[in-house]
Amino acid sequence: MGAVVPCHSASVFCMCWRVESLSIDNTAEITLRHTPLFSEHQRLKARLAPFGEWEKPIDYGSIIEEHNATRRKAGLFDLSHMGEFIVSGPQALELISVLLTNDPRVLNPGQGQYALMCRDDGTIVDDVIVYKLPGQGPTPYLLVVNAGNMDKDWQWVQQVCAKEGLAGDSTVENRSDQTALIAVQGPLAEEIVATSAEESLANVTPFSIREAAIRGIPCMIARTGYTGEDGFEIFVSAERALDLWTIIHGIGGPSGLRPVGLGARDTLRLEARLPLYGNDIDDTTTPLEAGLGRWVKLDKPRFCGKEAIETQKREGIRRTLVGLKMTDRSVPRAHYPVLSPVGAEIGIVTSGSFSPTLGYGIALAYVPPAYAEVGSAVQVDIRSHPHPALVVKTPFYRRRKATTI
């Protein structure tokens, strides 16, 4: 169970969802965690595989079909492996503001924003979404963190809270084991969620969150996503997750909604140029290098990493994350070297795939600023063979917004 702890506490939470032990080559045992929807993924005959500490669905038959369904109609995602921290108390805003590069002081109840948590040297602890929750007291905030970073993020929040002397009037609660997260993404997402919700979605604007009920199930609905499409992420208690999934799947299925695994989630987010922690950003990268400077508010009085980021902005960056379009039929993958036109190694691919929407290979890669201009010709070393690529403007894909007459 998740526990409420003072933010100086070194306590860590214990996941209560069912786990299994797997043996690999009979020499090591790995314990994999399961979300509350694991039995449903099995029933749907998903192809399951380890994802960090989790056993998650990679696909339900076809990554490309699931990708296209999300772009054209709607996709249903189990994101219950993500972490949720509640920060409350009289000094909650001060703690959140010191933790994050963005400025939560501008948030009204029910609003959210994308942000980064950085160390004092400017490197990225994690990228998160923070919401100021509606109707739950004066200053409660919800931090949604990446699954693979939950323990690290938890420890970092405690460390900063203690260092800043905010433990007395700030409380951090880890709700990750109590909370499931289900996303509906795609052109039909609003229609599907609106049909099932008991409240109007008219005031659920991008990066807002509202308390609601779906067929009697209490939840919080946020208009956010990781696909480049319009959509919603729905927070619900772990014990009601299967009920909620079944309701939404039943309502949207006839219109083309289909479950989507991690495979298509990755190609969707890559086309939208949404960074993946551990690939495009990590413990060695800074927001400026990753092209995330718009979410760093240097006019804030202070936040972890501010001085280092200011110095880097003043002195310049030595590498930057760019988009690559392959100009032949090759497909780039993470860790492939990026070469100059004459074959010198200049960078590295962080994420790469065939783009089902665009029909060619795309990648994100770190290169020196001299090679970052749109239109620059480079090469990607694929199994010791150079393949031509161009630096292109990102996102690779941008959805068409609905128009009114």
Q: Which two tokens stand for residue 286?
A: 């800074």
Identify which of 151, 158, 156, 157 has the alpha carbon closest to the alpha carbon of residue 176: 151
What is the predicted pLDDT for the residue at 29?
62
- Per-residue pLDDT band at 219 (split at 50, 70, 90): very high
What is the predicted pLDDT for the residue at 137?
62
Q: Which two tokens stand for residue 116?
A: 């980064």
Q: 30-58 pLDDT, tens per residue?
A: 789 999 999 999 999 999 999 989 999 99
Contact 116, 99 (CB under 8 A): no
What is the predicted pLDDT for the residue at 138?
66
**DSSP classification of residue 328:** S
**19, pLDDT greater than 90:** no
Q: Which fold has domain 83-175+286-316?
A: Alpha-Beta Plaits (3.30.70)
- Alpha-carbon gap, residue 301 to 261, rounded angstroms: 41
Superfamily of structural domain 28-81+178-271? Probable tRNA modification gtpase trme; domain 1 (3.30.1360.120)
Classify 318-392 by CATH class.
Answer: mainly beta
- Alpha-carbon gap, residue 167 to 132, rounded angstroms: 20
What is the predicted pLDDT for the residue at 11?
26
What is the predicted pLDDT for the residue at 2?
40
What is the predicted pLDDT for the residue at 184?
98
What is the predicted pLDDT for the residue at 26?
42
Q: Which two tokens stand for residue 102?
A: 């963005």
239: Cα separation from own chain's centroid: 23
Q: Which two tokens stand for residue 195?
A: 């049909």
**178, pLDDT greater than 70:** yes
- Alpha-carbon gap, residue 155 to 134, rounded angstroms: 26
Identify which of 235, 228, 242 has the alpha carbon closest to the alpha carbon of residue 70: 228
Bridge pairing between strands 217-222 and 171-174: unpaired
- Residue extents of the structural domains in the chain: 28-81+178-271, 83-175+286-316, 318-392
What is the predicted pLDDT for the residue at 136?
59
Contact 107, 156 (CB under 8 A): no
First-to-last CA distance in the chain? 51
